[in-house]
Amino acid sequence: MGRGTGLHSYMRALTKGRTPEEALLDVPGEHRADADSIDLSTLPPLSSGSPEVGFALSLSDCSARVLGVDMDRAGVRAMRTQDEMGMLLDWVGMVGARSLVVVDWKFQRQEDLAPASEHWQLLTYMSAALLAYDADEVQGFLAHWRYGRWEWDSVRLDWLGVQAHLADVRALMSRAERATTAYAERREVPPLRLGVWCDWCPAKRQCPAKVGAALAVLSGEAGDALKSRSELTPERAGELWWKLKNHALPALEQMLRDLESIARTEPLPLPDGGSLMEVEEGEDKVVAVVAGDWLRRNLGPEVAAEAVETKPTCSWASLERAVRKHHLPMLLAEWEAAGRLGRKPSLAKVMAGLREEMLGVQVAKRATWKAVRAVKALNG
Ligand code: SF4
């Protein structure tokens, strides 16, 4: 189970009324510390709302309807009509007679998330929820992982705020329609702006701006700038690095992959006389277990031990398994012994002891994470 899926099932378990300790058991060991570190104190109790609520929003008549709870994206797509926008909200709850709370978990490690007040996806979700429930006010929360910890960001919208946001969405949709027609009729490409949003863009493989950034690298823009370093301001250097890392290199890698897939069906002649083509390759690899067995049988254990090195490995999952396997029986034995002396603690106390041990392991994991030093692009 991936990190996002694991954390989603943690939150889903909380909405079903399970305690954080119980919900943590649903999360794979390697993501448990991340789930445990989510501070839920700013939210209303999750069990007072519903998870994975599907909505259909109609921009033309400014209305919305609830499609169901505990849904998935395929279900939402199947139930919305042609002129409705389908959406799936992570959590929706009523807080008072006519007031709503909406939460959108952003479990990928995203440093560059737009603030809640400018986050169009969240604002559109909130608008749909307010209209569907006929509420007066909605508060939206974005929960996201930023610079090594969870952060909450929130925004409130009333009915007027929702109308203003939906007017912006309608304006955007008609700009997009006009741009689509201009491209279809005159091959006119609209002005494009590269940014962090490109990661989610379905057109990124064909985007002219990305291809343009890659071509600028090929035509020497970056090389020329680096040659005349005295004229390279920190801002220009930062901009070049960002363009290279996030747009030019991925676009070039994509072009390579696309060309290689052509070469799979038809060999491509190369300027150096060679060709790019699909070949079958096998790796002549020593399999440690087989080699060790053979050496032990034929040349003796000493030769085998010297030739086949074994590297110690330890994953968080195996560590947790071992602690559970060896520590739980010991705690239960202590419980039994205490019982014979007439001081039998509750089993819940024994389990709490085990959980404390696991917490120690999780804290150690966090400490390990802190010790990692890496050069990263940070956005303030
Ligand atoms: S990849 Fe191109 S089209 Fe897509 S968001 Fe980025 S600039 Fe716009």
Which residue is it, tokens 């996806």?
121
Instruction: Give tens-digit pLDDT for 46-96.
Output: 888 898 999 999 999 999 999 999 898 999 999 999 999 999 999 999 888
Span from the CA of 154 to the centroid of ligand 1 (angstroms): 27
Per-residue pLDDT at 367 exceeds 60: no
**What was the pLDDT predicted at 211?**
74
Percent of the chain with pLDDT over 70: 77
Ligand 1 pocket (Cβ < 6 Å) reads 192-194, 197-198, 201, 203-204, 207, 209-210
- State which of 22-36, 41-55, 114-128, 326-340 shows the largest mean pLDDT: 114-128
Span from the CA of 202 to the centroid of ligand 1 (angstroms): 8
Taking CA atoms only, the protein residue closest to ligand 1 atom 1 is: 204
Taking CA atoms only, the protein residue closest to ligand 1 atom 5 is: 198
Taking CA atoms only, the protein residue closest to ligand 1 atom 7 is: 194
- State which of 69-83, 221-235, 257-271, 335-349 shows the largest mean pLDDT: 69-83
Nearest ligand 1 atom, CA 193: 7
**In Å, what is the CA distance from 213 to each residue of 202, 250, 252, 253, 320?**
18, 10, 9, 13, 47
Nearest ligand 1 atom, CA 208: 2
Report residue 380's pLDDT band, with 50, 70 and 90 as the boundaries: very low
Residue 55 and residue 87 in contact, taking contact as beta carbons nearer than 8 Å: yes
Neighbours of 186 (CB within 10 A): 8
Span from the CA of 77 to the centroid of ligand 1 (angstroms): 24
**What was the pLDDT predicted at 360?**
65
Q: What is the mean pLDDT of the chain?
A: 80
Taking CA atoms only, the protein residue closest to ligand 1 atom 6 is: 198
- Greater confidence, 109 or 198? 198
Taking CA atoms only, the protein residue closest to ligand 1 atom 3 is: 207
User: CA–CA separation, 168 vs 145, rounded Å?
Assistant: 28
Least confident of 96-105, 176-185, 323-332: 323-332
Instruction: Give tens-digit pLDDT for 138-167.
Output: 999 988 776 667 778 899 999 999 999 999
Nearest ligand 1 atom, CA 194: 7
Span from the CA of 249 to the centroid of ligand 1 (angstroms): 15
**What was the pLDDT predicted at 62?**
92
Span from the CA of 203 to the centroid of ligand 1 (angstroms): 7
**61-97 b/e (C-beta count within 10 Å ≥ 16 → b):** eeebebbeeebeeebbeeebeeebbbbbbbbbbebee
Report residue 370's pLDDT band, with 50, 70 and 90 as the boundaries: very low
- Greater confidence, 266 or 367? 266
**What was the pLDDT predicted at 310?**
65
Span from the CA of 192 to the centroid of ligand 1 (angstroms): 6
Indicate if the alpha-carbon torsion angle 259, 264, 265, 267 is positive or negative: positive
Average pLDDT on 209-235 reads 72
**What was the pLDDT predicted at 38?**
81
**Cβ-proximal residues to 343 (8 Å cutoff; 6+ apart), any chain:** none
**What was the pLDDT predicted at 262?**
87
Domain layout of the chain by residue ranges:
39-174, 202-265, 316-364
- Greater confidence, 214 or 304? 304
Span from the CA of 210 to the centroid of ligand 1 (angstroms): 7
